[in-house]
Amino acid sequence: MQLPWSRSAAHATHGVVIFTAERMSDSESAPTQLVNVGRDPLADTIIGERYRVLGRIGEGGMGTVFRVEHVLMKKVLALKLLRAEFSNVPDALRRFEREAQSASRLNHPNIISVTDFGHGATGELFLVMEFIAGQPLSEVLAREGRLEVGRACHIASQILRALEHAHAEGVVHRDLKPANVMLVRDVDPRLPETVKILDFGIAKMTQAQGSDEPLTRGMMIFGTPAYMSPEQAAGQEADSRADLYSCGIILYEMLAGRKPFIDEDLVKLLGLQITAAPPHFAETAPEAHVPPALETVVMRVLEKDRDKRFASAAEFREAIEESSTDVAELGARFAAKSVRMGFWLGAKVWAKRPLLVGLLRRGWALVCRGKTKLDQLAMPALKYLPAVLRRFALPAIAVALVLVLVFARGGGRKGASPKLEPPKPKPVAAEMKSPIKAIEENMAKGLLTEARVIIMQQISAHPKDGRVRFLLGNLEFADKNPGAGLQAYEEALRLDPGLRGDAALLINIRSELDDKKLGLAALEMMVKQVGKPASDVLVELATDDMRMEFRKLAREGCQAIGCIEKVDLVNSYSLDLSQARTCEDKREAVQKLGETGDKRAIEPLKKARTERRSLLGSLLGRRGRSCVAKDIDAALTALGEPPKPPAKKKRRRK
């Protein structure tokens, strides 16, 4: 069976042309737009006895698009002509006919309309559409970068209105991207631009009609990797929620000025679509100031699990509109809803007034009985209090009881605690043993791409299995991509805490501790997720690592997992004292040295006490150790070495 991520460009299987990931780029489905090209060989020829070719517009996934003129109506249109090499492929011909049938059912202001289709004189198939004098969103983004929040939301809302109509007709686009979104300016520049979606013709109908049968029996991937939903990337069947995911990618790109997932290797890019969480806007575009409510909407539609996304285009569109940043619009919408809600509640309350009055009376009676009972129980103990305090005692008791109940319901966090020894890893399911063996064998042979393909398939089939994520982390480290490796390990440990004792995981995480960018993240993973299996590493870092931030975090980790007694605290806090820049940090280090009770702490404290400021430090206004002199004296006294009083200077006799 041909894997969906094969690196071959194209091949034929049983007469079916299968385009693979390497061929799927934005250029595969060129938008209907006018381009500057030389005179086309077909110029002035007649297609279908009624369309004269005026010029070439662009290339599509299955054919070429021309600007044509209807010879009778003198109307300029766009005509899509099937490529000549596909003329004898039955599957391609049926797909083109199905394309025309499904596209002709769509009639919406935000969808390019299909007006005709038929056969040319030599048997070619063609599809006729309205001609759009606009520019694709892809060119706008390439020229302007990120768009304003209001404009991006306006464009996304129009895209979703088009998808609402198409999905209601049972049509899924499956290749939604900026190149297929045309922006048409109104004659009046004050009016907003209109969105027109192209290439609904290559969509697959989700509702079977008559005796229609599947067009292909092979494994095919439709779409563009950068905008493809996880289920499409995994070679699974796509439904309307795949279009919502693609629209979410487009909205993310409009807001941030870049796509959420970027990689030159298309196999890795498909893997990111399946496994990686989209980065937050604070990381990719902090200057955009995307409203938190809108970011929540975008992150929800980009969920890997399609069941966690919005259920429909209408729901997605309404969520975008609710997160609008237009204060006037929000105020008007809130006022309108408040008025409607007020009338509705008023009518309900008026209709139920006898019931409400009865409930209020019963509730007040219960409160009075409860107060009487509490008075009877508490008065024998409260009679000894002064009258002034007695009135506040009962409310205080009630508040204390509520607090006890609230905190009593708290408990330990679910999952294995880092303080404890790791449990055994979860057993490997029977159906996963063979793929896992194949992954390990490919990695041992250095066949990382082949191993990645199998891993992505297993993640798609078993998203809750930690072992596959763990193998993905090993693969990323072997492929010199430690940042992605740490993310995979983090997800693996969340799914299966038993993996935190694995030797390969510990070695790979430890290898990144000296990295300037990933070192702190690796240490935090050791402290918060790995825990006890990393105690030796944490002890070493807490004792003599030359980075103050790392020493502090390692000490906190040792304190949490119970290995603090192995740390040389005198050496650790002495380094803190020598590297501290503020009086607060110096004071904390001095106090900690005094609390060790170790005589070895006397020497660094005395050295700090007698240390003088340098000339440069004096010029810069630094206070040296003078601000903690009293704290040093107190620490030395606690260690049994009180400082000697300064010798009195003898006066000279005149």
Going from the C-alpha of 376 to that of each of 284, 364, 382, the distances in angstroms are: 64, 19, 10
What residues have CB less than 8 Å from 337, skipping those under 6 apart? Answer: none
Helix (H) or strand (E) holding 125: strand 125-130
CA distance 236 to 153: 30
User: Residues 583-616, buried b or exposed e (16+ Cβ, 10 A)?
Assistant: eebbbbbbbbbbebeeeebbebbeebbeeeeeee
Return the closest-CA partner of residue 415 out of 495, 492, 469.
495
CA distance 629 to 609: 6
Angle at 26 between CA 95 and CA 222, to 5 degrees: 35
Q: What is the number of alpha carbons within 13 Å of residue 323 lying toward its C-beta?
A: 21
CA distance 591 to 634: 8
Decide if 116 is catalytic.
no
C-alpha 79: how far from chain center: 40
CA distance 472 to 464: 14
**Single-letter amino acid, residue 364:** W
Q: Give the residues across from 11 on adjacent strands.
A: 18
Return the closest-CA partner of residue 462 out of 303, 274, 300, 278.
274
C-alpha 388: how far from chain center: 58
Residue from 175, 465, 502, 631 carrying the catalytic annotation: 175
CB 191 within 8 A of CB 157: no
CB 24 within 8 A of CB 4: no
Which pairs count as long-range contacts for 85-88, CB under 8 Å and 24+ apart, including other chains? Answer: 86/17, 86/62, 87/123, 87/124
- The three state secondary structure string of 566-594 is HCCHHHHHHHHHHHCCCHHHHHHHHHHHH
CB 261 within 8 A of CB 278: yes
CA distance 495 to 303: 17
Return the closest-CA partner of residue 34 out of 80, 67, 82.
67
Q: Which residues are catalytic?
A: 175
